[in-house]
Amino acid sequence: MKVLIVNGSPRGRFSVTLQSCLYLEKCFPQHDFDYLNVGAAIQSFEKDMTPALKAMVASDIIIFAYPVYTFLVPSQLHRFMELLKKNRAALKNKFVSQFSTSKHFFDVTAHRFMEDNFRDMGMRVIKGLSADMEDMLSQQGQKELRGFMEYCLFCVEKSVYDKAEPYIPDPLPDYSRSLSPVKKQDKFDTVIVADLSPGDTNLRDMIKDFDASFPYRTRFINLAEFNFKGGCLGCLNCAVTGKCVYKDGFDEFLRENILTADAIVYAFTLQDHSMGSLFKMYDDRQFCNGHRTVAEGKPFAYICRGDMKNEENLKTVLEARTQVNRGFLAGIATDAPSISAMSKRLSYALEQDYVPPRGFYGVGGMKIFRDLIWLMRGMMPADHKFYKAHGLYDFPQKKRMKMILMSILGAMMRKPFIRSHLGNRFNEGMLAPYKKEIDKLH
């Protein structure tokens, strides 16, 4: 079989993910492996997609191999997916799967993003494999890798795949401005960060309506006008030295113009189940701040030109991003009533300093970061300092008293006569500290 590996890592031949594919090539010598380096050489595909399209059409199965980058895939691979669609790649009924390495921080949303795009192109999707970046170094990881390849080959041979129709949204009516301007105050600084092309009157009018209905001053930044030199290269230079290798000034721009704001509103046109590859480049390049939750406590909001109703994955990404930052998501507005409601929620969050606690996405995500930074603190000193200063090293092992108390309680509860004697006192004891807090109010 002809197996085409689409290497989406910007690290090219130095990619960790690629090593697993090279391992598979050696394990399966009866099949032909070929490689497309789209992550590292995206500029060449930007100029000419012909070699990529030819190789893809000629293959029996395409495996997209990539590192998970900021909840999704690297901006370079994201751009490649856009180019595939723009070029109307003839990939209908082609078998496709994906393999990623990461620390499992939102690997699921990355995989779902890719699957949705595969389906848009009518491809036959085989469920992918998400590995930890070190899995290949263990016997278990290698077994799982071989198992994945065998499973892919089985699915192609037996033509096993789920038939799922792509979701094609209905064209939206033009947006017509309807929100009346309110009086502006100077108390808070809100920045609107958009990906706005000159002809996009709909998104522009939505932004104008939001600005009219919002009672505080706003600043506008159009990412389409920022001269990005490229997407994050994954070189980790920033982690070690605090500086990005690109000299396009993005780090300072981000720190001085965006992160200084009291609230951040993002405005985008929904495309390919995402905010587009330019926004992805913006997200990836924020790696210059490492794993530090530098926007902590800020309210966030989104203005979206597009039909978000079926975009659960993107909604999850936006919600999760906010939670990891321990922020407040004031809304993802798609029409005038939702822009108006979002504007009110955002004002409320600013005025009342409303910051809800993290939920599962935020708590789970931060635990992954905590463990990662703890181990990599020698290489990521700025992250380590931040995690220490903000009490983010909340390892349960430190709670010795609680563990001892639970052991005593457990031993007591295992004795039936103690259990029967305790009656409701166990429940009462458990609630006592909560009651104490309530009683303080009297």
Ligand X SMILES: Cc1cc2nc3c(=O)[nH]c(=O)nc-3n(C[C@H](O)[C@H](O)[C@H](O)COP(=O)(O)O)c2cc1C
Structure tokens, 184: 């502006």
Residues 137-196 close enough to bind ligand X by CB under 6 A: none
Please report how close the Cβ of residue 73 comes to ligand X at its closest, in angstroms.
Answer: 10
Q: What angle do CA 37, 270, 287 make, to 5 degrees?
A: 50
Reading the block at residue 198, the tokens are 């000159």
Contacting residue, 4, 5, 6, 9, with ligand X by CB under 6 A: 9
302 binds ligand X (CB under 6 A): no
Sorted by sequence, the CB contacts under 8 Å of residue 247 that are 6+ apart come out as: 229
Q: Is 16 in the site for ligand X (CB under 6 A)?
A: yes
Q: Does 70 bind ligand X (CB under 6 A)?
A: yes
By rule CB under 6 A, what count of residues binds ligand X? 22
State which residue, 104 or 146, has the beta carbon closest to ligand X. 104
Of the listed pieces 101-109, 167-175, 300-308, 417-425, which binds ligand X according to CB under 6 A? 101-109
- Under rule CB under 6 A, residue 232 binds ligand X: yes
Task: Compute the least distance from the CB of residue 442 to ligand X, in Å.
Answer: 47
367 scored as a contact of ligand X (CB under 6 A): no
To ligand X, the closest distance from the beta carbon of 18 in angstroms equals 6
Closest to 131 in 3D by CA, of 114, 147, 152, 153: 147
d(CA 20, CA 38): 17
Is residue 250 part of the contact set for ligand X (CB under 6 A)? no
Selected range binding ligand X among 67-75, 174-182, 383-391, 401-409, rule: CB under 6 A: 67-75
Nearer to ligand X, 216 or 266 (CB): 266
Residue 269 lies near ligand X (rule: CB under 6 A): no
Instruction: Write the burial class of residue 370 (CB in 10 Å: 0-12 exposed, 13-18 middle, 19+ buried).
Output: middle
CB of 8 to ligand X, least distance (A): 8
By CB under 6 A, residue 133 contacts ligand X: yes
Q: Using the minimum distance from each CB to ligand X, give the nearer residue, 16 or 259.
A: 16
Contacts of 215 (CB under 8 A, 6+ apart): 182, 183, 184, 185, 347
Helices 312-324 and 107-120 cross at an angle (nearest 10°) of 160
Could you tell me if 72 and 317 are in contact, meaning their C-beta atoms sit under 8 angstroms apart? Answer: yes
105 binds ligand X (CB under 6 A): yes
Find the shortest distance in angstroms from Cβ 130 to ligand X: 9
Nearest Cα neighbor of 97 from 67, 129, 121 is 129
- Spatial distance between the Cα atoms of 281 and 42, rounded to a whole number of angstroms: 13
Judged by CB under 6 A, the residue of 195, 284, 311, 383 near ligand X is 284
Task: Look at the block and give the residue holding tokens 């100077």.
Answer: 186
Does position 104 interact with ligand X (CB under 6 A)? The reply is: yes
Q: How far is the CB of 284 from ligand X (least distance, A)?
A: 5
CB-count exposure of residue 140 (10 Å: 0-12, 13-18, 19+): exposed
**Cβ of 115: how many Cβ atoms within 10 Å?**
22
Q: Is 322 in the site for ligand X (CB under 6 A)?
A: no
Among 45, 175, 287, 328, binds ligand X (CB under 6 A): 287
The span of 29-37, 61-69, 199-207, 423-431 binding ligand X (CB under 6 A) equals: 61-69
DSSP state of 135: G
**Which residue of 59, 75, 101, 190 would you call a contact of ligand X, by CB under 6 A?**
101
Nearer to ligand X, 94 or 292 (CB): 292
In the block, residue with structure tokens 């982690």:
239
Question: How far is it, in rounded angstroms, from Cα 302 to Cα 279?
Answer: 12
CB of 15 or CB of 347, closer to ligand X: 15
Q: Which is nearer to ligand X, 285 or 326 (CB)?
A: 285
Residue listed under structure tokens 């491809």: 123
Give the span between the Cα atoms of 63 and 366, in whole angstroms: 30
**Which positions touch ligand X (CB under 6 A)?**
9, 11, 15-17, 67-71, 101-107, 133, 232, 234, 284, 287
